[in-house]
């Protein structure tokens, strides 16, 4: 085998053989295939696609590049959730303890934000003392004692994906559906969960901008999970508008705690409950009532134990940015659009996200939203509050916002897009 022949096969719209796929993934992981060669192959896949057989074999090769986890020793059924990423998407934070409070075990391996989309680990690291990196034994212990764990994936889990993901991010190939699907599913299958619910975002703030692309990605991942013996279902959820009223690390943790305390924005509550019901159903816990667990405080109890078990202080004050800037409404009427992508870019520019994996983030940076589409606003009313420790970032962030919202005349009818748009199983 050689890299050039593999690249040419896909460049010329051919089907990669199982032997070619196995070889190129293994050789790239070992360093025999250079980054520039894998970049060329990734671009050929983006442009020419892969069929189901190729994607399944590519995913299997990614899994085979590392270790597989096993949770058979647990007394609870395991179920997990993966989001394809969005703006204000803090759902994992209230969801994992909620599902654990209903009797399942939730081994949530999460990632960091890159670009305009936020990362679960970055959010949780704004809690003083909280640790993202756990050994396998530590992860199993937290999962066994609290019912839920949110942590970083170890280096031994699908190392081919870790290397390829970083390459895709800097070569314009992130959006390749076969590579997105195999990246997500290789890690989730290797993780060893018994059931998986996929939250596939669609809209301006998501990688999938159209419902057709989101449906294709979700169907591909559901097929990969089912073929591997993992009970898998996907929800297509709206990401034209940011989730909740915050985008930024500590800001989103604070909002998540509000949800666990019985408050919080309706869209965050609705999506958390919808995903919880799917996860519990997939785990065989059809009679569990997540709405009750949210209302009676049992989900909050699991949250506090989970945060403490990873070194965090659930009672500690969260970081607050030193500087603020307010954006006001320029007219009175009905807010009909608040663009998720623009809000995400502005939050990123304020310091809430990173341009490269190694960049630091500001825990307190981000954006508060004081109105959502459908709300009536008045001229001069606060629409957004921008937070950062570095005020020189305000000018750059504000350049992302002029076209980020629309205000229609008072009395304009507004029909909201449902937070869950489709279900694929």
Task: Say whether 335 sits in a helix, a strand or coil.
Answer: strand
pLDDT digits (tens, 9 = 90+) for 355-397: 776 778 999 999 999 999 999 999 999 999 999 999 999 999 9
**pLDDT at residue 271 is higher than 80:** yes
CATH assignment, 323-408: 3.90.1170.30
**pLDDT at residue 157 is higher than 90:** no
Domain with CATH 3.90.1170.30 in the chain: 323-408
Is residue 39 among the annotated active site residues?
no
Residue-by-residue DSSP string for 121-138: HHHHTTSTT--S---HHH
Is residue 286 among the annotated active site residues?
no
Confidence of residue 116 (pLDDT cuts 50, 70, 90): confident
The structural architecture, per CATH, of the domain 3-49 is Up-down Bundle (1.20)
How many Å apart are CA 124 and CA 132, to the nearest integer? 8
Domain with CATH 1.20.970.10 in the chain: 3-49
The structural architecture, per CATH, of the domain 80-154+174-309 is 3-Layer(aba) Sandwich (3.40)
Q: Which of 168, 201, 304, 349 is catalytic?
A: 168
Q: Kindly report the pTM of this predicted structure.
A: 0.93
Is residue 168 among the annotated active site residues?
yes
Q: Which of 80, 122, 161, 267 is catalytic?
A: 161
Is residue 187 among the annotated active site residues?
yes
Is residue 2 among the annotated active site residues?
no
Confidence of residue 115 (pLDDT cuts 50, 70, 90): confident
Q: Which of 82, 112, 123, 201 is catalytic?
A: 82
Bridge-partner residues for 57, per DSSP? none
Residues in the chain: 425
- What pLDDT is recorded for position 94? 98
- What pLDDT is recorded for position 162? 87
Q: Give how far Cα 392 sits from Cα of 115, 262, 352, 398, Å.
A: 19, 37, 14, 11
Query: What average pLDDT does range 287-300 have in this prediction?
Result: 97
For residues 344 and 350, is the Cβ–Cβ distance under 8 A?
no
pLDDT digits (tens, 9 = 90+) for 178-192: 999 999 999 999 999
Do β-strands 246-247 and 376-377 pair in parallel, antiparallel, or remain unpaired? Answer: unpaired
Q: Which of 183, 186, 256, 404 is catalytic?
A: 183
- What pLDDT is recorded for position 275? 98
Domain with CATH 3.40.1030.10 in the chain: 80-154+174-309
Query: Going by C-beta distance under 8 Å and a sequence separation of 6 or more, which residues neighbour residue 412?
Result: 333, 334, 336
């Amino acid at each position: 085998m050689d890299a050039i022949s593999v690249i040419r096969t896909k460049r010329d719209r051919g089907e990669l053989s199982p032997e070619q796929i196995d070889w190129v993934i293994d050789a790239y992981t070992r360093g025999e295939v250079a980054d520039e060669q894998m970049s060329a192959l990734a671009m050929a896949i983006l442009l020419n696609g892969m069929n189901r057989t190729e994607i399944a074999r590519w995913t299997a090769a990614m899994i085979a590049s590392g270790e597989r986890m096993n949770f058979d020793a647990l007394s609870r059924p395991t179920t997990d959730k993966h989001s394809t990423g969005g703006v204000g998407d803090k759902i994992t934070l209230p969801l994992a303890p909620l599902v654990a409070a209903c009797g399942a075990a939730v081994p949530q391996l999460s990632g960091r934000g890159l670009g305009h989309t936020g990362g679960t680990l970055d959010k949780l690291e704004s809690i003083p003392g909280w640790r993202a990196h756990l050994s396998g034994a530590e992860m199993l212990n937290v999962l066994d004692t609290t019912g839920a764990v949110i942590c970083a994936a170890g280096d031994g889990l699908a190392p081919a994906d870790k290397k390829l993901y970083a390459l895709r991010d800097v070569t314009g190939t992130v959006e390749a559906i076969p590579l997105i699907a195999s990246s997500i599913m290789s890690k989730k299958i290797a993780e060893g969960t018994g059931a998986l619910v996929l939250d596939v975002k669609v809209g301006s703030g998501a990688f999938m901008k159209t419902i057709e692309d989101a449906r294709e990605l979700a169907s591909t991942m559901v097929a990969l999970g089912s073929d591997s013996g993992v009970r898998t279902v996907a929800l297509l959820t709206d990401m034209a508008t940011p989730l909740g009223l915050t985008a930024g690390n500590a800001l989103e943790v604070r909002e998540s705690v509000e949800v666990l305390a019985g408050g919080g924005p309706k869209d965050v509550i609705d999506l958390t409950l919808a995903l919880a019901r799917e996860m519990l159903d997939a785990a065989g816990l059809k009679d569990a009532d997540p709405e009750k667990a949210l209302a009676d405080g049992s989900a909050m109890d699991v949250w506090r134990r989970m945060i403490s078990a990873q070194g965090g202080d659930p009672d500690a004050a969260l970081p607050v940015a030193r500087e603020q800037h307010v954006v006001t409404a320029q007219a009175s009427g009905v807010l009909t659009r608040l663009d998720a992508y623009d809000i995400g870019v502005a939050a990123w520019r304020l310091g809430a996200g990173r341009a490269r994996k190694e960049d630091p983030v500001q825990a307190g940076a981000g954006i508060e939203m004081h109105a959502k589409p459908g709300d009536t606003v008045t001229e001069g009313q606060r629409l957004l509050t921008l937070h950062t420790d570095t005020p020189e970032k305000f000018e750059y962030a504000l350049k992302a916002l002029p076209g980020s919202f629309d205000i229609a005349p008072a009395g304009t009818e507004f029909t909201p897009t449902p937070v869950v748009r489709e279900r694929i199983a």
